[in-house]
Structure formats: C-alpha cells, structure tokens
Structure 1
Amino acid sequence: MEHLDGLNKPQKEAVLTTNGPLLIVAGAGAGKTRTLTHRIIHLVKEGVEPHKILAITFTNKAAKEMSARIKNLLGKERGMEDSYGAKELPFMSTFHALGVYMLRNHGGEVGVGKHFSILDKNDSLALIKDSIKTLNIDPKQFEPGRIQSVISKQKGDFITLDEYAASVGNDFFPEIVSKIWTQYEKLLEKNKSLDFDDLLLKTVILLKKSDAVRTYYQNRWQYIHIDEYQDTNAVQYELSRMLAERHGNICVVGDADQNIYSWRGADIKNMLNFEKDYSGAKVVLLEENY
C-alpha cells in the first residue's frame, strides 16, 4: 500500500477508517490535507468508485490543489500519471460551487431556472440600495451595507424571508429589514439572479423539499469529506448532514483553534457537537506538527 507510506500512526488510522462518521482534529502543520487526500486514495484502492466520493473545501484554490494531488497520486498508483479523466475523479468543490452544480441540475424544483446569474457582493449591494430607494427609506438610517449583512447572516443561519418576517413582531428595525428584504427578493427574481448566500440556502431547501433529489445526491456521493469543518455555518452544516444521512460516511477535518470565518456566521459548535450529531463517530487527533 504505497499510499500509506510516510504517514504517521494517527494519520494512518484516519486513512484506514473508511466507514461511518469520522472527525479528524488537526492543528496547523499536522498534515490534515495530506491525510484527507490519502484517505480518498485509499477508498478508491478499496474499490469505491471515485465519482461516489465528495470532497468539500472552503476555497477554490484548495479544491484545485486537492484535485491535482489526487489525480497525481491515482495516476502514480496506476502507473500513468495523467490517465484519470475528470469523470473518474472524486467530485471536489467549495460549498458554493456544489450549490451551483445542484441548482443548475435540479433548481427547477424550487423555482430556480437553469440559467440563473450569480451576484457578487457589490451587485447584491446595488440591488439593496435600489430596494431602499424604491421604498423611500432613508439610507443613512438604514445603511445598505448593514442591511446586506443582516440578510446574509439570516440566510447563513438557514432562516428564510418568510420565517424572518414572521418573527419580527413590532420591532422597528427588523420590520424595516423585512420590507427591504422582500423588495430585494423581488429584484433578484426579476433579474433571474441568486446572491452568494442563496446558493446554499436554496440548495438545502431543494433537498428538504424533494425526496427524489435528496435520494439521488445521497446515493451519488456515498463518502463525504469536509475540510475546515470548524468554519461551517448553519446552512453548510445542514447541507452536509442531509447529504450524509443515508449512508453515514462523513469525514470532517477541523481545527478548534482556527475559526477564521466566525464573522461570516461560522459556528464552531458544529465541530464540537460532531460526536453528538453523528452516533458512533470516531475521533482521531493529529498532533504531530510538521
């Protein structure tokens, strides 16, 4: 087993634990990416079809690097470094790219057309400014950037507009936010656009709404890997949980000391509660620093 060469004991344990929930706790420099990569290689060596493996990272750069490493290692195992085509490789992407992929294919189930455009932060802010202007609301009192942050936080916490509107009561600020958000959603729909947060929120709504779509993706990706799990927010947690629900083979890597996306609504409890959320979970600590 060449792919196990050079791994220390805890890394090997993580690589060889292929079934059931697995939490790998690793600090910076402990070889977590190497461990994750070699675990995926091991699954393929054990006979798992590559397209049934999903690996989610937080940046496009990390996804591309992992993809290149895996392609290289699989090729070396086979003796031909470039012999694996994209269709024979595991599906590696960011959470948001995964959402785009699923919505392009099945978004019609939740009213999302195949050819939606994706708004970046500036485009989204422009629509919020338009919404505030249309409603004759004072932008100095209700600053567009702040409104954008509130809406983004709600979507990341897996709260829809309807749920938010139902919860505002007589509070003045949330009531105005609700009006702006409603107008903002009308503009998104008119422009056939989704903002960055919709890519995940609408994907989770899709999986909750359609048993057929949920079952399709659960069976398609039977082995799920998530890097930087400490940086997941509520909607990313729910997406991961739903995809892993049928087969239970979910491997997450996290560093309790490195919650870099807390400003974006990331919840370190997702990592700390992993054993409670996934019964029978195994925990492996990677403590050696390289």
Structure 2
Amino acid sequence: MSNFAELNGAQREAVEATEGPVLVLAGAGAGKTKTITYRILNLIKKGVAPENILAVTFTNKAAKEMGERVLKLLENERGYASDMATSGARRPFVATFHTLGAHIIRENYMEAGVKKHFSIYDREDSKRAVKEALQKNGYDPKQFEPGKILAIISREKGNFVSSSEYVERASGDYFGNIVAKVWQDYEIILKKENALDFDDLLLVAAKLLQNESVRKFYGEKWKYIHIDEYQDTNKVQYKIVEAITRDHQNICAVGDVDQNIYTWRNASIKNILNFEKDYKNAKLVVLEENYRSTKTILEVANKIIEKNKLRMERKLTTKNAVGEKVSLFEALTENHEAQFVVEKVKELQKSGADLSEIAVLYRANFQSRVLEEEFLVKNIPYQVLGTRFFDRKEIKDILAFLRFCLNPESISDLKRIINVPPRGIGKITLLKIVEGKEKELPAGMKIKIDAFRNLLRKIKNFAITNPPSKTIFFIAKEVGLNENLEKTDEGIERIENIKELSALAKKYD
C-alpha cells in the first residue's frame, strides 16, 4: 500500500478495514475526509466497482470536495481516473443526504406517488403553502405563524413521522389538531403542484426503502457505504442508512462525539453512541492526532470537553507548535463586547496583520448588528458573509424558470417568475390563469400572457436539446435578466453569480 505512506497508523487502520461495520471517531482536524477518500481508493484498488461505493456528507461543499479528492487520488492509478472522468456512472456516488434522497425518489417516482420532474420547495415556497393551508382552514397566519407550523412539520418528518401518523397522535390536543389540519392541506398543495419539500426528500426516500424490493436494490447497488458526520444524523437519516446496509453491513461511519450542532433539527447523538449496539462486531478506530491546531488550543479544548459525560473517552494530540495563549474576556454588555473585539482588531492591524486574515465569529446573525456599528464608528472596513448562494434572487429566478418549464404544475415557481422582469401581470390576472378563466381577461393582458408563454416554450425547447450550463445563460439572456441587472448597483456581482451557477451546472452537462 505504497500510496498510503502519508497516513498515520490510525488512519491506515480505518482505510484497511474494508469489510463489515467500522466506526471512526475523529476529532476536529484529525483528517477524517482524508481517511474516507483513501478508504474509497483502497476499495477500488481491491477490485470494488466504483459505482458500488456510496459516500454521504452533510453539505454540497463537502460532497464536491470529497469527490474531487477521490478523482485526484486516482489520477496515477491505471485507467481509473480517465474512466471515471468520462463516465459519471462509473464513479462512486458522493452526495448529501438530500441529494441521495432525491436520487432514490426520482428512480422510483411512481412508487413515491410523484411525477418524474417534481419540483423541490425551498423554505419560502413551503411557508407560502403553509400560509395558504392556514387560511383554507380559517386560521389567521398572524396568530399561527407559518414558519413555526412549518418547523413542527419539519421536526416530525425528521423523526420519520408522516402526516397521517401525526393526525392519529395529535387527536385531543388543540394545537396539535391545528397542525394536523394544516399539514394535511399542505400535502394537498404539494401534490397539486407536483412538488416535495426539503424534508420530503429524506422522509419519502426512507419510506420507499421500507419496501423490500427497493431496499434490496440499493443494498446491492451500494455495497460499501461511508457516512460523514454521523453524530449529526437524525432518525429519518438513520433509517435510510440502516435500510441500505442491512444485508451487507459494510458501513463506515465517521463522526465526532464531541460535536453535535444539528440538535435543532433533531440530530441524535445516540446514533453514534449506539453504533456498536446497532452493528455487532463493529471495529472501532480512533483518530486522535490533530493536524490543524496548536498544542495550547488542544489543551484548552480537551479540558472543556472532558466534562461531557456522554462522550467516548479520547484525547486529541498534535505535533504542531505550542502556539499563543488562549485569552478569555468577560464583557458587561454586548456593546462592551463589540468595543473590545474592534479594539483587538485595531491592535492586530497595527502589528502588521492584514484585515483579510482576521475573522470574527458570532453565534447568531442578529449579533452582527452591534459589531457592524462599532466597525463603522472606528472606520474599519469589514465584510459580512451573508446570503447563501442558492438563496440569492437572481439564482432563484433562473432555477424557477427552469423548473416551471419542466414542471408547469408548479404554481410556486409561476408566481415567482411571472413578473421577472416586471410585465404588468397582477395577482388577479395570475389567479384567473391558475383557475383557467383567461377568457375573462382584456385583450391587452392576453397579449402579455401569450408573450410570456412563448418565452417559456422557447426556454423549454432550448433546455431539452442543450446542456444545463448553456441553458442557464440562455434563460438570463432571453428573460432579460442581464440587461436589468446591469442597471443596478450590484449588477456586476449578480451577473457573476449567474456565471458561477453555469459553472456549477457543467458537471451535469
């Protein structure tokens, strides 16, 4: 195994343990991603077909990075890299849980009760539909906030609970009955618009895997499973993993019992703590060497985390330098805290540090306000990392155009795009379109609607015959997004975002 010389002893042990259940406990900076990628490499070198390997991560960024690392490791391996580069079908399936769920549903869309080109609701789409369901049941959305109702529905779906199961459990509970009624009508709206929400991607996939033939198909398809950040899995994710691995038990779960950041969506630390009970004869490998931090930082971290009584005993070590001392400042108020932070930044700047090398972390977004005010007062330039890429307006607009062209039943997407850019089609006109009462509209409005339909038809025809990356540019040009964005202050940045979306889409060309 000459290619694995850069692995330490524990990493190598995990890489070589290819058969049966393996639990890798890896602290921060201990090289868990490296361990997973080398393990995938080892499996392929042993003769396992790349397409029989599955690796699941929690973020798109992590999935992209892991996939790229695997391809890079295989570059010097005869035939592997070129074969995998030209054929997606010959690659390991590296994806997030939600991408995995969507993949399973699309391959079994009839059994799932959806059409092949279903839309995926984002949070704003879901809130709009929940609000509509509240109003249909005679409830005031101002009294019963759609966001809170949606959070309850999301929590229940994460616990592997369907709307029908929740109805039975909520019987006799006043607020539970309201949620049950709204949830049922929310499901009707989803069905009508041929859509699933983000949580459905997991719940529907998990329910599909309860079907023995579906379960066996994916168990045979993915014979070697890797799960990153296993401590952050919830019940429905656990169900998906258990179903796929039930027959062969070839699972490598990698996680850190000292981290658990997704409790807000019902992540259960018990999944990793009970791994050795769930999978008999599991091999335990502990990665304790940290490559990222100084000795001082690790000493402080070890002292704090050792007070956690639920953890599995281990201690991070490092060969790195001792490093500077860790300081603690106890502020009297949030303003006092902000003043201290900004003064520290000024000191670092005076000592020669570049502002781009300094980061200020805070627990919640609302805490940025007082910091921003202080930076402005002290005339120190700063940058807030804000809206996520796929939440940006121009990105959501383009994707909505593309989705609606493929799935014209998606009312949510229609509402978003019908006035992008503005075409003077109001809410009453939209309602008449949805209700099939276009004949009642004035002639001038019919001309606008016909022009809009022709645009959609043009986009659909282009999308069917061209790769996604070109389709994105085509939509931006035909719709007039670029022309409109050039007139705004943020135009250049937003056009760059569209270019980035096209670049991301190239992997699906």
Residue 261 of structure 2 corresponds to residue 260 of structure 1: yes
Matched position secondary structure for 2:76: helix
Q: Distance in 2 between matches of 1:188 and 1:81?
A: 41
Q: Following TM superposition, by how much is the alpha carbon of 1:80 offset from its aligned partner in structure 2, in angstroms? A: 7.9
AA matched with 1:255: D
> Conserved in 2, the CA contact under 8 Å of 1:155 and 1:197?
yes
1:81-100 correspondence runs (5 A)? 82-85=82-85, 86-100=88-102
Q: Distance in 1 between matches of 2:48 and 2:2?
A: 18
> Conserved in 2, the CA contact under 8 Å of 1:226 and 1:252?
yes
Q: Distance in 1 between matches of 2:83 and 2:251?
A: 28
Tell me: CA distance 1:179–1:78, structure 2 relative to 1, closer, same or farther (3 Å): same
Moved more, 84-93 or 266-275: 84-93
The higher-RCO structure (CA 8 Å, 6+ apart) is: 1
Q: Following TM superposition, by how much is the alpha carbon of 1:138 offset from its aligned partner in structure 2, in angstroms? A: 2.1
Cross-structure match for 1:77: 77
CA deviation map 1:68-123 (0-9, x unaligned): 11011112222785453322221111110011111111121131221110000110
Q: Following TM superposition, by how much is the alpha carbon of 1:257 offset from its aligned partner in structure 2, in angstroms? A: 1.5
Q: Following TM superposition, by how much is the alpha carbon of 1:152 offset from its aligned partner in structure 2, in angstroms? A: 0.2
Q: Distance in 1 between matches of 2:29 and 2:10?
A: 14
Gaps of 5+ in 2: 292-509
Q: Distance in 1 between matches of 2:106 and 2:287?
A: 38
Cross-structure match for 1:31: 31
Q: Distance in 1 between matches of 2:112 and 2:147?
A: 28
2:168 to 146, 166, 169: 166
TM-score by length of 2: 0.56
1:180 to 173, 182, 202: 182
Q: Following TM superposition, by how much is the alpha carbon of 1:133 offset from its aligned partner in structure 2, in angstroms? A: 1.1
Matched position secondary structure for 1:78: coil
> Conserved in 1, the CA contact under 8 Å of 2:30 and 2:290?
yes
Matched position secondary structure for 2:142: coil
Equivalent pairs counted in the alignment come to 289
Moved more, 80-89 or 56-65: 80-89
Matched position secondary structure for 2:253: strand
Cross-structure match for 1:289: 290
AA matched with 1:266: A
Q: Distance in 1 between matches of 2:116 and 2:79?
A: 40
TM-score by length of 1: 0.97
CA RMSD of aligned residues (A): 1.2
Moved more, 258-267 or 119-128: 258-267
AA matched with 2:232: D
Gaps of 5+ in 1: none
Cross-structure match for 1:11: 11
Cross-structure match for 1:117: 119
Structure 1 stretches of at least 4 aligned residues deviating more than 4 Å after TM superposition? 79-83
Cross-structure match for 2:110: 108
> Conserved in 2, the CA contact under 8 Å of 1:72 and 1:82?
no
Q: Following TM superposition, by how much is the alpha carbon of 1:60 offset from its aligned partner in structure 2, in angstroms? A: 0.8
Matched position secondary structure for 2:13: helix
Residue 50 of structure 2 corresponds to residue 57 of structure 1: no
Tell me: CA distance 1:126–1:196, structure 2 relative to 1, closer, same or farther (3 Å): same
Matched position secondary structure for 1:71: helix
Matched position secondary structure for 1:25: strand
Identity of matched residues, % = 53
- Which of the two has higher C-alpha Rg? 2
Q: Following TM superposition, by how much is the alpha carbon of 1:141 offset from its aligned partner in structure 2, in angstroms? A: 2.7
Q: Following TM superposition, by how much is the alpha carbon of 1:179 offset from its aligned partner in structure 2, in angstroms? A: 0.5
Cross-structure match for 1:144: 146
Q: Distance in 2 between matches of 1:169 and 1:186?
A: 20
